[in-house]
Amino acid sequence: MEIDHLIVGAGTAGCVLAERLSADPARQVVVLEAGADGEDGDWGLRATVTGGRAEPLARGKVVGGSAQVNGMGALRATVRDFRAWAALGLPAWDWERVLESYRRVETDLDYGGRPYHGDAGPVPITRWPETEWTPPVQGLVEAMTAAGHPYCPDMNAPGASGVGPYPHNRRGRRRMPTALTHLAPARARPNLTVLPGRAAERVLVRRGRAYGVLAGGETLAAREVILAAGTPLTPALLLRSGIGPADELRGLGVDVAADLPGVGRGLYDQPGAVLPAVPRPGALPADAPVTQVVARLAAVPGHEPDDGFYLCLFCGPPPHGGPAMATIMVGDLVPASRGSVTLAGPSGPPLVDLGFYREPGDLGRMREAYRHAWELARDPAFAATAEAVAAPGGDAELDELLRAGTFSRLALLGGAAMGPEGDAAAVVGEDCRVRGVEGLRVADLSIVPVPLRSPTALDAMMIGEHAAGLILAGP
């Protein structure tokens, strides 16, 4: 069998790619996945978060990727995000173009009849109705609207801002990842092969052309290799394949296939911090959904309106056990700090540095966002349902708390960023082709060149859909 498209990674984007490309019976498609089929696993990665502090970096190692284990949040990135993307000289990724890919992915069970939503895609999108909100959720929404934040019933509508029901990719309480919505129905096709438990070691490149992948000591040859392993695994795979900063690779003993200084650079992630609150007796049912509302704030006191802050209420027991909590999560969606993905040697896990608070202004933004969350928690509407832990009084004390307690919101982007011709830091072009290496593309969140104001799972689905459209359109 001659493979036309060899997709590395059966994650959120990879499953969409596999379904779309294999819909053409003339194309032979093979998907490599390091994880098992149907049994959730984790890559066991770690990342430097602030200073030298390292924390686990959860990444799904399973057919379906991280969408098999995430919170099912399906919030789109914003119009302004894609305007910024297109302004780099990449018009194929402007809002009007990607909107069609969002629509093709979804069936919005609440707003599917509206022109900016899909009503015939594989992924069901739904929201918890207000009548089913728990008391802490109701109280927080009341507190936010009283503080001047608008209520928005459809947070995926163009221009949506404020607080509203959290869109999820689920049907009832059942998770609906792309492994289920896209890949599973396509697996009966004779031209699609899924190979779980097969980790890609490196892309094989000869004289400037990718001709396959080495996996488990075996060479799989293909006309085109498409990396969809996700961030940070796709940038790490490029580096192990000799595609990246030449001097850095030579220092690791890796033969250079293409000198691309941008590989592993410009990593984006969203710092998060929590404000725990103890529910009042009877305020939080045992079977309460974990998330019901989400906020993208257009204004936190002292800042320009930029939809740059994320706020969400998580209900339920902590990850390591204990009584149920009503925890307010705060996140900065557009931090200025950037991180990196590098290697310690020719093999082994990547070294991930998230770079949080590297730019001094970021800590000040999070401090004010956290204080704003504390003010919301003190509002009588929320305080009647849950008692928040007291926030530190002074800036120095709060800064110390944030440096010690900030974590990754697992919304990693970049490391193989897209850019126009002439951009020395660009790794891929507008068509997702890797610069300087024929027959190789990247089609996952690694290509994103700007921050996205979202949890990124739905954006990964869109990227898989959009990239597939570009590939099918040729040449």
Q: Please give the annotated binding residues for FAD, written as ranges.
A: 62
Q: Quick one: average pLDDT of 392-406?
A: 93
| Per-residue model confidence as pLDDT tens digits over 113-154 | 999 999 999 999 999 999 999 999 999 999 999 999 999 999
What pLDDT is attached to residue 301? 62
Confidence of residue 464 (pLDDT cuts 50, 70, 90): very high
Q: Is the pLDDT of residue 286 over 80?
A: yes
Give residue for tokens 């970049």: 414
Residue 337 pLDDT > 90, yes or no?
A: yes
Q: pLDDT value at position 303?
A: 65
Average pLDDT score over residue span 368-381:
95
Over residues 341-369, the mean pLDDT reads: 95
User: Which segments are annotated as binding site?
Assistant: 62
Structure confidence at residue 287 (pLDDT): 87
Percent of the chain with pLDDT over 70: 98
pLDDT in tens, 228-279: 999 999 999 999 999 999 999 999 999 999 999 999 999 999 999 999 999 9
Does residue 302 carry a pLDDT above 90?
no
At residue 299, the pLDDT reads 67
Q: Can you give the pLDDT at residue 319?
A: 66
pTM of the predicted model as reported, rounded to 2 decimal places: 0.97
Give the tokens for residue 315: 């209900």
Of 24-33, 93-102, 358-367, the range with the lowest mean pLDDT is 358-367
Which range has highest mean pLDDT (197-206, 283-292, 324-333)?
197-206
Amino acid of residue 412: L
Pick the CATH number of 3-123+174-267+410-473 from 3.50.50.60, 3.40.640.10, 3.90.1170.50, 3.30.70.80: 3.50.50.60
Domain locations in the chain? 3-123+174-267+410-473, 129-165+271-332+359-405
Domain 129-165+271-332+359-405: CATH class, spelled out: alpha beta
Q: What DSSP assignment string belongs to 238-278?
A: HHHTTEE-HHHHHHTTPPPSEE-TTTT-SBB--EEEEE-EE
Long-range contacts of 160-164 (CB under 8 A, 24+ apart): 160/78, 160/296, 161/296, 161/297, 161/298, 161/307, 162/295, 162/296, 162/297, 162/298, 163/293, 163/294, 163/295, 163/311, 164/293, 164/294, 164/295
Candidates 218, 219, 33; CA nearest to 210 is: 219
Taking alpha carbons only, the member of 366, 358, 434 closest to residue 395 is 366
Q: Tens of pLDDT along 27-68?
A: 999 999 999 998 889 999 999 999 899 999 999 999 999 998
Query: Poorest-confidence range of 3-17, 77-91, 271-285, 320-334?
Result: 320-334
89: exposed, middle or buried (Cβ count in 10 Å: 0-12, 13-18, 19+): middle
Mean pLDDT of the chain: 95
CA gap 225, 213 in Å, rounded: 8
Q: What's the pLDDT tens digit per position in 97-117? A: 999 999 999 999 999 999 999
